[in-house]
């Protein structure tokens, strides 16, 4: 079976094609900067069966891509034509797995996409404005490009459905939960689930108490024990918790009232402010951690404050989740920043010996593929760097849905 996984973001599409049941990755790619004139590009990598860890060929091209449909059409062309060709025909793909960020309370598990499921994903646009529309249009385009395939949705929220009520409820009048479903949902669940399973296997402890730290464009943390999420830092939508590329993270609601009242902001302006103009962009002028690292190296004081605030917030949640777990076996860093930014990891882990965490500075600086233990031998809890693979986890969930064991 061929499973094609699509992770549509607000301005990008990540994709991977797997052969099943071998889990062999056939190709993967990234379509970036969709809709930005002159800047859109596609990177397409093809793997060899014998060496699935490193791509045998890599193609990169810049081309005009006005929207997601144009992007996915180009991906289908790369899959079926030219030197990176991996299938004869779009009909060779039997399953398309889609990352869908917000599943609300309706979806606690992976589901086959029907018109009813699509209507629910549309209804949730307002709660995840940067993500659900892109996910939804990705589904519509894939339905047109792969009409024979079964389309499956895997929700970021699903893994967090095990949170106890005292963790997911807000201290608001009950009717806002029972009638309006206002509660914590949590996001990046596919990633937290994947790295938590890898960490538990590495530690040879299925009951490990883990704090998983996903630091990408969006950032979130989860407290996980025995493969179940006990708490997570994002909430009703993907705005709460950690400082992110362009999102504020935790904020006193009085600030919103002040913006909406005396300062005269509209709801839409507040949404744009919190989703697109805040976080590291608001603090430092840059949203990409590589740019902030460069600014810091050049002595930029705003970049230094940005790093301090970003890492301080993570440290606060480590303290909170060590309490939730009543102990700690490992913290796990993952996603673009967590896997690559040694400075962030060092700043997070300094002075956490109270929680049994001690970083090995030299190991932390090494760049190696795969899972890495960067803790000092004396550290009581492990500090792990684990590359996430949301696409593989999505493919596994698709396979489990369609071929239950
Ligand atoms: N070598 C690196 N050093 C520091 N940050 C990096 C590096 N590579 C990628 N990143 C950061 O990772 C982030 C994107 O992570 P990613 O997990 O791809 O996010 P998303 O899936 O939300 O698009 C960006 O802020 C980028 O700057
Ligand atoms: C939910 C979320 O924040 O996703 P991303 O990190 O891909 O923006
Ligand atoms: Mg991501």
CA distance 300 to 4: 43
Whole-number percent of the chain with pLDDT over 90? 90
- Token pair for 403: 């071929």
Cβ-contact 3, 20 below 8 angstroms: yes
pLDDT tens digits, one per residue of 224-258:
999 999 999 999 999 999 999 999 999 999 999 99
* Structure letter (DSSP) for residue 381: B
- pTM of the entire predicted model: 0.95
Q: What is the DSSP letter of 280?
A: H
Residue 27 confidence (pLDDT) above 80: yes
Residues 289 and 380 in one domain: yes
- 195 domain residue, yes or no: no
| 96 and 6 in a common domain | yes
CB-based contact 188:159 (threshold 8 Å)? no
Q: Is the pLDDT of residue 52 over 90?
A: no
251 and 106 Cβ atoms separated by less than 8 Å: no
In a domain, 197, yes or no: no
**Secondary structure string (H, E, C) spanning 105-138:** CCCCCCEECCHHHHHHHHHCHHHCCCCHHHHHHH
In a domain, 183, yes or no: no
Distance, CA of 270 to CA of 389 (rounded, Å): 33
**pLDDT at 380 (0 to 100):** 97
Nearest bound ligand to CA 219? 2
Is 2 annotated as contributing to ligand binding? Answer: no
Same domain for 363 and 271: yes
- Out of 67, 156, 165, 341, which one is annotated catalytic? 156
Residue 277 lies in a domain: yes
Residues 328 and 258 in one domain: yes
86-105: per-residue pLDDT in tens?
999 999 999 999 999 999 98
Is 324 annotated as ligand-binding?
Answer: no
CATH number of the domain to which 319 belongs: 3.30.420.40
Q: With a 6 A CB cut-off, is 388 part of the ligand 2 pocket?
A: no
Q: Is 341 a catalytic residue?
A: no
The answer to whether residues 44 and 151 belong to one domain is: yes
Q: Based on the fold, state whether residues 125 and 254 are members of the same structural domain.
A: no
Residue 89 lies in a domain: yes
Interface predicted TM-score of the whole assembly (ipTM), two decimals: 0.98
Q: Is residue 189 part of a domain?
A: no
Domain final residue, candidates 136, 155, 174: 155
Mean pLDDT of 190-202: 98
Final residue belonging to a domain, choices 155, 188, 220? 155
Report the alpha-carbon distance of residue 128 to residue 402 in Å, rounded. 28
Both 213 and 148 in a single domain? no
Whether 55 shows a pLDDT value over 90: the answer reads: no
Question: Is there a contact between 344 and 311 (Cβ–Cβ < 8 Å)?
Answer: yes
The residues near 323 (Cβ < 8 Å, ≥ 6 apart) are none
* Domain carrying residue 19: 2-155
Whether residue 216 has its Cβ less than 6 Å from ligand 2: yes
Q: CA–CA distance from 161 to each of 157, 177, 192, 284, 287 (Å)? A: 7, 15, 13, 35, 30
Q: How many domains does the chain have?
A: 2
Rounded to the nearest whole angstrom, what is the distance from the C-alpha of residue 244 to the centroid of ligand 3? 12
Among 116, 137, 155, the domain-final residue is: 155
Quote the distance between the C-alpha of residue 262 and its chain's center.
36
Residue 165 lies in a domain: no
Q: How far apart are CA 239 and CA 226, in angstroms?
A: 27
> d(Cα 295, Cα 329) in Å, to the nearest integer?
35
| Ligand 1 touching residue 337 (CB < 6 A) | yes
Are 147 and 220 found together in one domain? no
Per-residue pLDDT of 371-397, as tens digits, reads: 999 999 999 999 999 999 999 999 999
Q: Is the omega angle on the peptide bond into residue 21 within 30 degrees of 0, that is, cis?
A: yes
Per-residue pLDDT at 46 exceeds 90: yes
With respect to residue 193, please indicate whether it lies within any of the assigned structural domains: no
Ligand 2 close to Cβ of residue 185 (< 6 A) = no
**CA dihedral sign, ordered 340, 46, 187, 144:** positive
The first and second tokens of residue 266, run together, are 């509209």
């Amino acid at each position: 079976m061929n499973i094609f996984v699509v992770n549509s973001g607000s301005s990008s599409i990540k994709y991977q094609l797997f052969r099943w049941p071998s889990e062999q990755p056939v190709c993967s790619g990234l379509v970036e900067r969709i809709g930005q004139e002159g800047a859109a590009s596609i990177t397409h990598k093809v793997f060899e069966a014998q060496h699935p860890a490193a791509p045998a060929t890599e193609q990169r091209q810049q081309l005009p891509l006005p929207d997601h449909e144009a992007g996915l059409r180009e991906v289908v062309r790369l899959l079926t034509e030219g030197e990176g060709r991996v299938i004869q025909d779009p009909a060779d793909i039997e399953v398309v797995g889609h990352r869908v960020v917000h599943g609300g309370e309706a979806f606690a598990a992976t589901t086959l996409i029907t018109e009813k499921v699509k209507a629910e994903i549309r209804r949730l646009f307002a709660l995840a404005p940067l993500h659900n529309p892109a996910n939804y249009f990705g589904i519509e385009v894939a339905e047109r490009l792969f009409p024979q395939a079964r389309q499956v949705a895997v929700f970021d929220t699903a893994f967090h459905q095990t949170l106890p009520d005292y963790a997911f409820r807000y201290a608001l009048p009950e009717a806002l939960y029972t009638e309006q479903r206002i509660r914590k949902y949590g996001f990046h669940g596919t990633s937290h689930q994947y790295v938590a399973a890898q960490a538990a296997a590495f530690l040879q402890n299925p009951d490990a108490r883990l704090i998983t730290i996903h630091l990408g464009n969006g950032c979130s943390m989860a407290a996980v024990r025995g493969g179940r999420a006990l708490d997570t830092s994002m909430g009703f939508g993907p705005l709460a918790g950690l400082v992110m590329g362009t999102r504020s993270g935790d904020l006193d609601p009085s600030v919103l009232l002040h913006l909406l009242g005396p300062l005269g902001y509209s709801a839409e302006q507040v949404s744009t402010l919190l989703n697109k103009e805040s976080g590291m962009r608001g603090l430092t002028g840059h949203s990409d951690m590589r740019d902030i690292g460069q600014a810091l190296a050049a002595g930029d004081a705003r970049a230094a404050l940005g790093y301090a605030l970003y890492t301080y917030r993570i440290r606060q949640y480590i303290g909170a989740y060590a309490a939730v777990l009543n102990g700690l076996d490992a913290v796990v860093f993952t996603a673009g920043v967590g896997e690559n930014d040694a400075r962030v990891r060092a700043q997070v882990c300094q002075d956490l010996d109270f929680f049994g965490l001690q970083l090995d500075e030299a190991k932390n600086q090494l760049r190696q593929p795969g899972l890495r233990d960067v803790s000092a031998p004396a550290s009581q809890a492990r500090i792990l760097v684990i590359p996430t693979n949301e696409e593989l986890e999505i493919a596994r969930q698709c396979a489990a849905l369609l071929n239950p064991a």
